[in-house]
C-alpha cells in the first residue's frame, strides 16, 4: 500500500490565545478555544483558525466553550457572561463559516486530503467535546453515561479527537490524580486508532505510544507497553516534533489502520480462528461493498494555496527519541475476554492496529487563577504515514 508522510499539528486549551502554529498538513484542536464561549471569544478563535494554512482543520469544543453545548447553556447560561445570554446557534455557526474547518460535535466524518502530487488520503475521524463532569461546565457527563457516549465510536476510526484524556494516559493532575475516563480507555483498546488527541488536563501535556495487548487472555482491555516523549527543549523555540513515520524506522508507529472485513458477531461465532496478527480467517467473506459503520464519502475540501510543510518557513525542528520505554502497568479489567463477543469483534482482521499515539496537546500550561502568571506549552507536531490513493 502506498503511503505518504503527513504532518499533524496538535493543540488544545488555547483559552483565547492565538499562538503562531508550525506548518503542517492537518491541524487538530481538541477543545477549550475560549474561557467562557462568548460570541466574541469564539469569533476571535475562528478568525485565527481561518488564517492558518492547513489542508484541513479538525476542531472540537471543550468544557469552557459553554455556548456550544446548547442544552447546558439553555439551563445554566444565565450564570455566565454577566447574565447577558448569547445565541448558541450563532456561536456554532462560526465554525461552519469556513469550509476548511471540520467541526465535530461527538460525531464521525470522512475527510479527504488532496496532496500536491495528485494523490488522496481518506481519513475516518471521530471528534467529541465531552469530559467527565467536574463543576458547572459544559459537555460534562457522569460515569454511568460514559458507555453510551464512547461506544458510538466506529471500529474503523483512524483518528479520535476528544477533549478529555483516557484513564492513565496523559491525564495526570496534581489535584485530581488520574482524571481521564476509563470507558474511553477501553474504547481506545477496541478501536486502536493511529492517533488520539486530547487536552483538558493542562499538566498532562506530552506524547505516548501505547502498545495494545490483543491476546485472548483473562484480562480485558490490556496494554503491553508505553513509549513516552517529552519536550526536550521546553524553553527554546524548537518544535516539539515526534516522527512516527517510516523515515525513522526505529520508532515507526505499528499501526497500518487495517480494518479488513468488520465482521459481525455471528461471523465470529462461526469462525473463532481470527488471528491477532491481521491474518484473515478463510471462512470470512471478502469485504462487502458497504460495511456498517463506514461513512459515505464527502466531497474533497477546498484547498487554498499554501506552502508544503517541508518548504515552509517554520520554527527550528526538534525531533525527539522516546524519552522512556517501559512495560505498561496492567491497565485492564479482570474477567472473560468476551462481552457479547465485542472484544473478538474488535480484533478480528484488525491485527495491524497494534499501537496508538496519544497526544495531550494542552497549550495552556498553568491553571486558573494563574497565580504565578500564565504559562504555555508548544503545539505538538506528529509525523505519521497515511495511505494514499491515486486517481485512475
- pLDDT for 373: 80
Comparing 320 with 215, the larger pLDDT belongs to: 215
Comparing 338 with 222, the larger pLDDT belongs to: 222
* Proportion of the chain above pLDDT 90, given as a percent: 59
Rounded to whole angstroms, the Cα distance separating 140 from 224 reads 31
Given the C-alpha cell 500536491, which residue does it identify? 116
77-91, 136-150, 225-239, 353-367, range with the lowest pLDDT: 77-91
- pLDDT for 331: 58
List, for residues 265-295, the tens digit of each pLDDT value: 233 223 323 333 343 333 323 222 222 333 3
CA-based nearest residue to 14, from 50, 44, 57, 39: 44
Rounded to whole angstroms, the Cα distance separating 112 from 23 reads 19
- Taken in order 135, 141, 142, 146, the sign of the CA dihedral is negative
Q: Are the C-beta atoms of 74 and 122 separated by less than 8 Å?
A: no
Query: Which of 184-198, 254-268, 310-324 is most confident?
Result: 184-198
Listed in sequence order, the residues at least 6 apart from 41 whose beta carbon sits closer than 8 Å to its beta carbon are 16, 33, 34, 35
How much is the average pLDDT of 33-62? 96
Residue 117: other Cβ atoms inside 10 A: 9
DSSP 8-state code for residue 82: G
Rounded to whole angstroms, the Cα distance separating 160 from 148 reads 16
Kindly state the cell numbers that stand for 54. Answer: 492547513
* Proportion of the chain above pLDDT 70, given as a percent: 77
- pLDDT for 381: 98
- Taken in order 10, 63, 169, 377, the sign of the CA dihedral is positive
- Residue 368's Cα: distance from chain center in Å? 25
3-state secondary structure of 72: helix
Rounded to whole angstroms, the Cα distance separating 105 from 128 reads 5
Q: How many CA atoms lie within 13 A of 258 on its CB side?
A: 20
- pLDDT for 322: 59
List, for residues 294-318, the tens digit of each pLDDT value: 333 333 333 333 334 343 333 333 4
- pLDDT for 312: 37
Q: Which domains does the chain have, with CATH numbers?
A: 3-259+299-336+353-387 (3.60.21.10)
CA-based nearest residue to 382, from 26, 16, 21, 60: 26
Given the C-alpha cell 484547498, which residue does it identify? 303
Alpha helices in the chain (DSSP H): 39-51, 70-76, 88-95, 146-150, 182-191, 265-270, 342-347
- pLDDT for 348: 72
* Model confidence band, residue 76 (pLDDT cutoffs 50, 70, 90): very high
List, for residues 56-66, the tens digit of each pLDDT value: 999 999 999 99
List, for residues 194-204, the tens digit of each pLDDT value: 999 999 999 99
Phi, psi of 145 (to 5 degrees): -100, 0
Listed in sequence order, the residues at least 6 apart from 311 whose beta carbon sits closer than 8 Å to its beta carbon are none
- pLDDT for 349: 64
Average model confidence (pLDDT) across the chain: 81
For the cut 80, the answer to whether the pLDDT of residue 206 exceeds it is: yes
Residue 164: other Cβ atoms inside 10 A: 30
Rounded to whole angstroms, the Cα distance separating 112 from 292 reads 20
- pLDDT for 161: 98
Residue 368: other Cβ atoms inside 10 A: 11
How much is the average pLDDT of 376-385? 96
CA-based nearest residue to 195, from 232, 234, 242, 140: 242
* Model confidence band, residue 336 (pLDDT cutoffs 50, 70, 90): very low
List, for residues 103-146, the tens digit of each pLDDT value: 999 999 999 998 888 899 999 999 999 999 998 999 999 999 99
DSSP 8-state code for residue 276: T
Amino acid at each position: 500500500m502506498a503511503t505518504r508522510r503527513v504532518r499533524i499539528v496538535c493543540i488544545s486549551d488555547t483559552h483565547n490565545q492565538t499562538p503562531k502554529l508550525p506548518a503542517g498538513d492537518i491541524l487538530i484542536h481538541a477543545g477549550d478555544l475560549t474561557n467562557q464561549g462568548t460570541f466574541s471569544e469564539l469569533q476571535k478563535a475562528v478568525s485565527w483558525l481561518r488564517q492558518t494554512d492547513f489542508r484541513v482543520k479538525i476542531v472540537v469544543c471543550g468544557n469552557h466553550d459553554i455556548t456550544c453545548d446548547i442544552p447546558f447553556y439553555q439551563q445554566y447560561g444565565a450564570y455566565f457572561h454577566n447574565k447577558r445570554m448569547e445565541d448558541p446557534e450563532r456561536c456554532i455557526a462560526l465554525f461552519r463559516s469556513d469550509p476548511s474547518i471540520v467541526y465535530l460535535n461527538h460525531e464521525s466524518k470522512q475527510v479527504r486530503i488532496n496532496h500536491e502530487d495528485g494523490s488522496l488520503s481518506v481519513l475516518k475521524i471521530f471528534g467529541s467535546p465531552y469530559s467527565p463532569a467536574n463543576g458547572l461546565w459544559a459537555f460534562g457527563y457522569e460515569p454511568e453515561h460514559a458507555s453510551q457516549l464512547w461506544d458510538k465510536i466506529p471500529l474503523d476510526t483512524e483518528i479520535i479527537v476528544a477533549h478529555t484524556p483516557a484513564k492513565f494516559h496523559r491525564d495526570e493532575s496534581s489535584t485530581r490524580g488520574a482524571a481521564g475516563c476509563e470507558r474511553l480507555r477501553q474504547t481506545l483498546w477496541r478501536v486502536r486508532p493511529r492517533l488520539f488527541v486530547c487536552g483538558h488536563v493542562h499538566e498532562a501535556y506530552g506524547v505516548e505510544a501505547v502498545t495494545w495487548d490483543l491476546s485472548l487472555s483473562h484480562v480485558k482491555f490490556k496494554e503491553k507497553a508505553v513509549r513516552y516523549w517529552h519536550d526536550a527543549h521546553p524553553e527554546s523555540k524548537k518544535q516539539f516534533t515526534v516522527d512516527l513515520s517510516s523515515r525513522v524506522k526505529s520508532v515507526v508507529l505499528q499501526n497500518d489502520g487495517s480494518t479488513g472485513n468488520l465482521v459481525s458477531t455471528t461471523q465470529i461465532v462461526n469462525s473463532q480462528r481470527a488471528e491477532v496478527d491481521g491474518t484473515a480467517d478463510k471462512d470470512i467473506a471478502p469485504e462487502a461493498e458497504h460495511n456498517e459503520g463506514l461513512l459515505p464519502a464527502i466531497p474533497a475540501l477546498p484547498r487554498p494555496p499554501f506552502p508544503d510543510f517541508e518548504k515552509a518557513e517554520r520554527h527550528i525542528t526538534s525531533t525527539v527519541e522516546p524519552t522512556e520505554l517501559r512495560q505498561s502497568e496492567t491497565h485492564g479489567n479482570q474477567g472473560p475476554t468476551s462481552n457479547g463477543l465485542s472484544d473478538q469483534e474488535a480484533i478480528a482482521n484488525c491485527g495491524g492496529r497494534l499501537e496508538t499515539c496519544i497526544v495531550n496537546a494542552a497549550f495552556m500550561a498553568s491553571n486558573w487563577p494563574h497565580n504565578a502568571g500564565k504559562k504555555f506549552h508548544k503545539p505538538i507536531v506528529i509525523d505519521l504515514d497515511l495511505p494514499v490513493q491515486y486517481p485512475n
